[in-house]
Amino acid sequence: MKHLPIFMHLENRTCLVVGGGTVALRKIDLLLKAGARVRVVAPRLGTGVAELAANGRVTHYPGVFTTQHLDNCALVVAATDSPLVNRWVYQKACERGLPVNVVDEPGLCSFIFPAIVDRAPVTIAISSGGAAPVLTRILRNRLESSIPAAYGRLAELVGRYRAAVKRRFGTIRARRLFWEQTLEGHVAEAALAGHWHEAERMLKHQIEAGNGDSGGEVYLIGAGPGDPDLLTFKALRLLQKADVVVYDRLVPEAIVDLARREAERVYVGKRRNDHSLPQSDISQLLADLATQGKKVARLKGGDPFVFGRGGEEITLLAEQGIPFQVVPGITAATGCAAYSGIPLTHRDYAQSVRFVTGHTRNGRLDLDWAQLARERQTLVFYMGLTNLNEICAKLVEHGLRADLPAALVEQGTTPNHRVYVGSLSDLYEKVKHLGVASPSLLIVGEVVRLHESLHWFSGEEGGAEVFPPQCHRRDRVTDRSEVA
């Protein structure tokens, strides 16, 4: 370890910054955040520092640096564009034994500024000892995205009860156990969900009761359409907390793998005509696991509340008073549309979008076709692959143009992502012998036309298989034949 990370208390202490430009400004901002009184020495100030001086937030000493400026200082920063001045400041500060940092000169620093993740009062400092600042920034960004913004307030909340917990629990071990259970349990979850009063009430109750929280809970999590990067921060956080992960076919392995290694994995996948676990059994399983005190992550493809039966799965939990949370996911429609360059709405083409199930009930597609066959709206059919032919035919039968563009997105957002484009009259014929795999999504509407110019993502196999729609607008007519 080249540097010892320590946190310095600078409240109301004087810090000297030599230089008044943008580099100096960045350091001044940090010092002010730490509550320091900042003395700025520079012949002229840039606009940012000048503003701070005008508002009385820093004290400006116009002119050049002299050793008197070091009087009563706790810390010194040199950020001028003159290497000579910077070195001079460094030497003089060292002579007085003051901690000094010359910006971007690792050789002239007795301390360095780390990259910071600020969740005050929680502060995380990261440093590579000056070796790889970009790497530290990348690390910082990772931490920024994985540590919820509310952690600071959570730390404040538990901080207020530290003494009470100390009085209630006699040993260090008991206290540690209490805090671990509290900060991994309902109190923290309620706080992070914004229910601060509830969190505080539970915390007080647990302190009085003399035990932490070890209750079970279910997280109904939308895992998105396939690309693990489309998971939300919250989904990832809860997944990594889970003792058990219950998942089905649409959830890619890469996402299940994000759970803790020791977490139990339960596959409850369903294939068409092969319901390996009936819905009611899944609900019961979730309830049972939670009742055993486990944190259960129920992962569902896309969004749990969009053709996901998420509502059904949590009804039983609600009835039995088992705590649960629902985390939305990117649904197949928005995921596939984005990755295919097909905006679902567009001022020129579609003012509304409908998500429709293409799944049959008792062998029939029971849909309000007249409502669906409207101009200027986009239709997205989930589970429509098997009935593709019938869906397209019905839409034409009920008044949509036979040449209206339609796209089939196969395994959208995954490495096997493919887009097949045609029209209501010919899409089925074009794809019927291609062995298009499930899951696939059908998008119908003028917006599909935009795919040709806006597509940007291609699966690992080197690109989408694209059949350009037969354009009816003269200005856009292209005559590209099939590209395999």
Q: Which residues bind ligand SAH (CB under 6 A)?
A: 225-226, 250, 300-303, 306-308, 331-332, 336, 382-383, 409, 411-414, 439-441
Q: Which of 84, 61, 86 lies closest to 76, judged by CA?
A: 86
Q: One-letter amino acid identity for 105? A: E
Handedness of CA 269, 271, 272, 275 (dihedral sign): negative
**Of 439 and 468, CB closest to ligand SAH:** 439
Cβ at position 20, least distance to ligand SAH in Å: 54
**Which listed residue (248, 294, 295, 300) is catalytic?**
248
CB neighbour list of residue 249: distance below 8 Å, 6 or more residues apart: 269, 270, 271, 301
Answer for the pair 219, 313: CB distance below 8 angstroms, yes or no.
no
Task: Please choose, from the candidates 439, 447, 417, 426, the residue with its C-alpha nearest in 3D space to the C-alpha of residue 354.
Answer: 447
Q: Are the C-beta atoms of residues 117 and 147 closer than 8 Å to each other?
A: yes
Question: Do you know the residue count of the chain?
Answer: 484
Q: How many CA atoms lie within 13 A of 85 on its CB side?
A: 17
| Intra-chain end-to-end CA distance of the chain, in Å | 56
What are the residue ranges of helices labelled H in 265-423? Answer: 279-291, 310-320, 332-340, 369-372, 388-397
325: exposed, middle or buried (C-beta count within 10 Å: 0-12, 13-18, 19+)?
Answer: middle
CB of 474 to ligand SAH, least distance (A): 33
* Candidates 234, 270, 394, 430; catalytic one: 270
Residue 140 burial (C-beta neighbours within 10 Å; 0-12, 13-18, 19+): middle
Range list of β-strands (E), 286-439: 295-300, 324-327, 352-357, 377-382, 405-410, 418-423
Both tokens of residue 111? 């301390």
Q: Is 270 a catalytic residue?
A: yes
Element (H, E) at 40: strand 37-42
3-state helix, strand, coil in the chain (%, to 5): 40, 20, 40
Identify whether 300 is a catalytic site residue: no
**130 close to 106: Cβ distance less than 8 angstroms:** yes
Token pair recorded at residue 322:
């088992």
SS3 assignment, position 69: helix
Which active-site residues does the annotation give?
248, 270
